[in-house]
Amino acid sequence: MALEIKELLFFMIFIISNVNSKPVQSQLDKLALENFLQYLRIPSVQPDVNYDDCVAFLKKQAQSLDLPLKVFQPVLGKPIVVMTWQGLEPEKPSILLNSHMDVVPVYPAEWKYPPFAAHMDEEGNIYARGSQDTKSLGIQHIETIRRLKLNGIRLKRTIHISFVPDEEIGGKNGMKPFVATEDFKNLNIGFSLDEAGASPDDKFVLAYGEKTVLQLWVNCTGKPGHGSILFDNTAGEKLRNVIDRFMDFRASEKAKLKDPKVQPGEVTSVNLDMIRGGIQVNVVPNELSVAFDIRIAPDVNHTKFENMIKGWLKEAGEGVNYTIIQKDPPVKNTKLDESNIFWLAFKKACDNNGFILNPRITSGASDARYLRELGIPALGFSAINNTPLLLHENNEYLNRDIFLNGINVFMKIIPAVANA
């Protein structure tokens, strides 16, 4: 496949200006920034995402890189895009660079600028949903490979750059079914880099594990009737007992964070996210339900935890039960020791270049858990430091210089793990 004219011009500039690399660096930075802004302006927002524009954009990127691209659909309408840069030793287990195309919903009225305009202010802060989570990561992967290729670098292991759907709603129609396919097995993945969070200081967050997702509806049934009568055994009374139990537990876990040595990823989080039920203000409902988003810490026994919840519901009274929204199995953390050659290569590259790491269990879930479940080592690393953590928040932004520096960081790390 021939290089696009733009790519060919950049390559010629690189050859001509090898004594002074600033011109080509400036052009590559400009291209990276343009691609980042263009990707952010695609409103791939949950729910019911149409991924067509994302796929078309990524196909153009693959053409500019002169890389083959495949689109897999283990679930119809949920495309998984994979670009492949074949290594010098393709028989070796390959490297997967993963990010997701979808973003969470927004409250437009709460934003300084339209959340899909990718507005860059005078300080170079780019405001857009997905600027941190994780469209920046996908473009950084692309632009890193572009620069490595222009430098004439070849790597031992094959690199696959993947862009997956529906990570923000659990990956049940994205990475989860994909890892069970022959198409995924044929990629021969030996190690994966996925997302992590931003760091407010000069360190970089390194995620080697994550809490386990347990999301459920608790349904409380009771005697219905006129809203003026104090019935016994009402759904509202039971709901109150249930909420008290969950929120008391939440408070006890939150109190642990007063110890500065305890990281958020080391405690179990509980959040009440939805309540539903009732038909009219003056009618006592026959059922009320409440949804909890629970993220179980790695050292918690899942059976004992669920038995504790069942005990709370039994205390609340008859007619109280729960239904699962999402329940993931416990997954072992990726090892950060000598048994993991990819970790050793990753850490050496960071040490040699002065990248300070902050290893941790992440509070949120990522698609890396589906690879870890298969025994594939996976690290979360977004190369975003000196930036407030704004995942899923209003006015999510990423500074231009931090974004571009992240490409330089990956320029050191990706060759290291690909040559491990």
Told to judge if 102 belongs to the known catalytic residues of this protein, a careful annotator would answer yes
Task: Name the residue among 204, 197, 178 with its Cα closest to residue 189.
Answer: 178
Estimate to the nearest angstrom the gap between the alpha carbon of 169 and the chain centroid.
10
Please name the residue that has the structure tokens 């899942």: 302
Catalytic residue among 7, 102, 133, 194: 102
For tokens 């997954």, what's the residue? 331
* Cα(159)–Cα(192) distance, integer angstroms: 10
Residues in Cβ contact with 21 at an 8 Å cutoff, skipping those fewer than 6 apart: 14
Q: At 105, phi and psi to the nearest 5?
A: -65, 165
Q: Is residue 29 flagged as an active site residue?
A: no
Query: Do residues 302 and 296 lie in contact, with contact meaning Cβ atoms separated by under 8 Å?
Result: yes
194: Cβ–Cβ under 8 A, 6 or more apart, which residues?
A: 98, 99, 207, 366, 367, 368, 371, 378, 379, 380, 381
Q: How far apart are CA 17 and CA 27, in angstroms?
A: 12
Q: Which of 143, 167, 210, 396 is catalytic?
A: 167
Q: Which tokens sit at 312?
A: 């709370």
Q: Cα–Cα distance between 218 and 215 in angstroms, integer?
A: 10
Which residues, 6 or more positions from 248, have their beta carbon under 8 angstroms from its beta carbon?
A: none
**Do 345 and 416 touch, CB atoms closer than 8 A?**
yes
Residue positions annotated with a catalytic role? 102, 167
